[in-house]
Amino acid sequence: MSHVSSHSAHGQSPLRTVQVLGGGSAGSSAHVRSLAAGLVARGVRVTVCAPSEAERAYGFGGVGAHHLAVPRRSDPASVAALRVACADADLVHAHGLHAALRASLALHGRRVPLVVTWHTRGYAEGARARLLRMLERRVARAASVVLGTSSELVDRARERGARDARLAAVSFPARRLERVDAEDAERARSKTRAELGAVDRPLLMAVGSLERHRGYDVLLDAAHAWLDLDPAPLLVIAGEGPERAALQRRIETEGLPVRLAGRRDDVAELLPAADVALLPSSWESRSLLAQEALHAGVPLVATQVGGVPELVGEAAELVPYGDAPALARAVERLLDDPARRAELRDRGRAQAASWPTEDATIAQVLSVYDELTGAF
């Protein structure tokens, strides 16, 4: 698939694109890195405007893109820096609402196509919710094309006035792990379980920032039910965030078998050690944890919200958001049923194999770029 390589065949200069990334969640940052690598390989010039910490973590320069440090702010200096970066761009592609707002400000008065990928949606209450709706409307209407990572986000973009909203192909950002044999995998699993303190007990794992919308308060409610099990499973939550102190207080005062493991960069190694992965969020689009769990063959219990059912199909146990007893029962049933866990392992890997490949993701993006720039 190489729409753009034909440019050089006809003596045209390569397509010049600017990818704009804000704070960047793990999912959107990994997506931009994958996209940059694929576009560069197909002869597209790529500049990634992102904070320096995103470059350090994801290495956009290492895949052939030019990185320009632009802080995640909408002040005049940041917008001016972005305006300079976009000066000779044929097309600008912003990832996330705040990045899209800054890109639209930087492009004001210029006829440069703007593609926006909505990776997730914002969370706000009261006056901030009204502000968020205004931001979504502004971004949806400024974009030539909005790509939503779930059907729900595509519908939301249309409701906010997008002229053209489509479902984005987004590949699973698989880490290039070395192939290990079953014996080595089991040894690594045992070592991880020992490190986390779950040698002779089931290990449950949740991953994600410690914020209210993640539903960890509901998860702690569910953990009360597991105190009666023998042995009681250990729940490990990997992530950092503003709710940490409140969660830690509850764990201590209620005597819950829960450990907050902080931010971890080795989730791909941690997750295969778990008996069950948990996703209790109030909303998700293409949850990275759900993708990691199914890819690794770890049974998943998740809330039936947002893009989760579309992503996991029949390969996970789904429960209503906020229903701690349903969540607790789903976990208990899985721990009691090795055959069902094995079935979910197989279904998870099959579901993961059905997700778009990196090639399919890049092909879709290139076809959108071609439409908007008139390239053939």
Fold of 5-171+356-373: Rossmann fold (3.40.50)
The pTM assigned to this predicted structure is: 0.88
pLDDT for 72: 81
Fold of 182-353: Rossmann fold (3.40.50)
**Which residue ranges does the chain devote to CATH 3.40.50.2000?**
5-171+356-373, 182-353
pLDDT for 375: 58
Three-state secondary structure of the chain: CCCCHHHHHCCCCCCEEEEEECCCCHHHHHHHHHHHHHHHHCCCEEEEEECHHHHHHHCCHHHCCEEEECCCCCCHHHHHHHHHHCCCCCEEEEECHHHHHHHHHHCCCCCCCEEEEECCCCCCCCHHHHHHHHHHHHHHHHCCEEEECCHHHHHHHHHCCCCCEEECCCCCCCCCCCCCCHHHHHHHHHHHHHHHCCCCCCEEEEECCCCHHHCHHHHHHHHHHHCCCCCCCEEEEECCCCCHHHHHHHHHHCCCCEEEEECCCCHHHHHHHCCEEEECCCCCCCCHHHHHHHHHCCCEEEECCCCHHHHHCCCCEEECCCCHHHHHHHHHHHHCCHHHHHHHHHHHHHHHHCCCCHHHHHHHHHHHHHHHHCCC
The tens-digit pLDDT sequence of the chain (376 residues) is 444 443 443 446 799 999 999 866 777 888 999 999 999 999 999 999 999 999 998 999 999 999 999 988 778 888 999 999 999 999 999 999 999 999 999 999 999 999 999 998 887 888 999 999 999 999 999 999 999 999 999 999 999 999 999 999 999 876 544 456 778 888 989 999 999 999 999 999 999 999 999 999 999 999 999 999 999 999 999 999 999 999 999 999 999 999 999 999 888 889 999 999 999 999 999 998 999 999 999 999 999 999 999 999 999 999 999 999 999 999 999 999 999 999 999 999 999 999 999 999 999 999 999 999 985 4
pLDDT for 18: 98
pLDDT for 4: 44
pLDDT for 10: 41
